[in-house]
Structure 1
Amino acid sequence: MTGTGLVAGRTAIVTGAARGIGLEIARLLREHGARVVLADRDAEEAAAAAAGLGDEESVWSRACDVTDEAQVDALVTETVERFGALHVMVNNAGITRDASLRKMTTQDFDAVIGVHLRGTWLGVRAASAVMREAGTGSIINISSLSGKSGNPGQTNYSAAKAGIVGLTKAAAKELAHRGVRVNAVQPGLIRTAMTEAMPPDVFAAREADIPMKRAGEPREVAGAVLFLASDLASYMTGAVLEVGGGRLM
């Protein structure tokens, strides 16, 4: 590897990278020397985000619907063609379609399961096909504390995020002997555009339940991802790191 930083000289893909947690993950990986591909369903927003992170030799953006098998496979293939390798895959893309059981439609259930669970599985499968041949690689899947405790109005989201944990552990067992590590991060209440759209009293009540008495910042989630992507976590696979200020411990 060349340069300085925890992931210097490596190539990383981050899905859902146009904004929020995904963008901060891409930013921190780039700061630590990685070449980064920002993948997002919104091609224009991804391109704008990438333009703020570096030049075309180190940062690239690409439109990708993570529920589409061909698009995910093409994302990985074109990344390897462009940068020569793939060392880190961060499956972060996600959506919410919150509603009570009584009011949730099957379309909203399927949409959330599709993006989070099918999308993560497609990302793990495509990235691992490249990494296992190289004999090295780190895959990081973004779950949520909602997948540990369940949230009212989020039967779809909580089920998907819990499923990501099972997927992570199964894939980790399959790939460990080939030098590929698969881990997950479970963020808690993180200050993003989505959570800040919550009513202020609800947000404050959620913060009050956290031992550290505050919401987390996207960069704090990115720090856990950087750790798992780096050699500092070289003997970790199948692990689930909670980034939640002590909530649910």
Structure 2
Amino acid sequence: MALKGLHHLCTHSVRASPEDATMAPNDFTGQVALVTGGGSGIGRATCLLLARDGARVVVTDFNVQTARETHSLMPNPEKHLALQMDVTQQSAVQSVIATVRDKYGEPPSLLVNAAGIMNIDPSFDKTGDVVINVNLKGIFIVTEAFTEELLKGNEGAQEDKGVIVNIASILGKLGHPDFRHYAASKGGVITYSKSCAAHMIRKGIRINCILPGLVDTAMTKPFTEEFRQSICDKTPLPRAGKPEEIAEVVVFLLSWRSSFMVGACVEVTGGDGM
């Protein structure tokens, strides 16, 4: 059976479909993308690729200065926004989404939950509250606000209203004795992504997640060389990943090319965890 063409979100959002061979593989022209943790690492790389592929990108980060730095690197910066956002605060998230609607006349239809922290120092956050709040509760809050705004007055059956990609971690599947809270939070992201995907696909919102392995980002910079090498030694492709390598998978999952993927948790690890 032939795939049906994907529906438009609204008159001024244009989406490619599997039947339109003239469109670029990742054509997000007219769509608004909200990225959390966009000030560095995987979030920054994702923002740059989305801007490259035509999206209007809202870069958010707890550190607004790093969000502005990402914004300055994107082509046609006047099309995009850089905003401070604390993903653990519902009022802050709702305020950002309201600002997006005011600027673009519509809510974001693409969401990448890339904000995250890791407790490198064993004495930090012994209860795990901070890590769980940012890595897991933050995704709850942002996703709920995003979907609620996207579905306002638009609850009828429609295949492609919006797409969400959550950044989990291979440690959410494997666990790790030195990163117990982090691994637990990312395991929660995996199961939340699957559960939410099953629910939201009925409303026209597609959700998947990515499980990166070791990636060269600010978060992993404090790792000792010995620890980093120990990870590489057990990885079939014995090196750390680049943020751009993860971001390319993110934009694939946001695009029509992954239109039959729902609740998938894609491992991008160089083979670690196989």
Q: Do these two structures clear the TM 0.5 threshold for a shared fold by scoring above it?
A: yes
The whole-number CA distance in structure 2 between the counterparts of 1:24 and 1:66 is 19
Aligned to 1:92: 114
**Match for 1:88: what amino acid?**
L
Alpha-carbon deviations, 1:94-152, whole Å to 9, x = none?
Answer: 1112355xx56445x10000001110001110111133344500011110011010112
Larger Cα Rg: Structure 1 or Structure 2?
A: 2
Aligned residues of 2:193 and 2:208 also touching (Cα < 8 A): yes
Residue 47 (structure 1) aligned to one of 68, 85, 92: 68
The whole-number CA distance in structure 1 between the counterparts of 2:116 and 2:203 is 28
* In the alignment, structure 1 residue 21 sits paired with structure 2 residue 21: no
The whole-number CA distance in structure 2 between the counterparts of 1:91 and 1:144 is 12
Aligned to 2:145: 126
The whole-number CA distance in structure 2 between the counterparts of 1:46 and 1:122 is 20
Aligned residue runs from structure 1 range 28-67, under 5 A: 28-67=49-88
Aligned residues of 1:172 and 1:237 also touching (Cα < 8 A): yes
**Match for 1:226: what amino acid?**
V
- SS of 1:89 mapped into structure 2: strand
* In the alignment, structure 1 residue 140 sits paired with structure 2 residue 165: yes
Alpha-carbon deviations, 1:195-226, whole Å to 9, x = none?
Answer: 23311122112111111111110001101110
The whole-number CA distance in structure 1 between the counterparts of 2:187 and 2:171 is 8
Aligned to 2:182: 157
Q: Which runs of 5+ in 1 are unaligned?
A: none
Q: TM-score, normalised by structure 1?
A: 0.93
The whole-number CA distance in structure 1 between the counterparts of 2:61 and 2:137 is 15
Alpha-carbon deviations, 1:8-56, whole Å to 9, x = none?
Answer: 2211010011111110011111111111000011112211221221334
Residue 116 (structure 1) aligned to one of 129, 132, 135: 135
Farther off after superposition, 19-28 or 2-11? 2-11
Residue identity over aligned pairs, in percent, reads 33
Aligned to 1:206: 231
**Match for 2:174: what amino acid?**
S
Displacement of 1:194 in angstroms is 2.7
Displacement of 1:77 in angstroms is 2.1
The whole-number CA distance in structure 2 between the counterparts of 1:98 and 1:155 is 11
**Match for 1:66: what amino acid?**
V
* In the alignment, structure 1 residue 188 sits paired with structure 2 residue 213: yes
What CA RMSD, in Å, does the superposition of the two structures yield over aligned residues?
1.8
Displacement of 1:228 in angstroms is 0.8
- SS of 2:103 mapped into structure 1: helix
Aligned residues of 1:40 and 1:93 also touching (Cα < 8 A): yes
**Match for 1:143: what amino acid?**
A
The whole-number CA distance in structure 1 between the counterparts of 2:216 and 2:210 is 16
* In the alignment, structure 1 residue 79 sits paired with structure 2 residue 100: yes
Q: How many residue pairs are counted as aligned between the two chains?
A: 246
Aligned residues of 1:143 and 1:186 also touching (Cα < 8 A): yes
- SS of 1:39 mapped into structure 2: strand
Aligned to 1:241: 266
The whole-number CA distance in structure 2 between the counterparts of 1:185 and 1:220 is 12
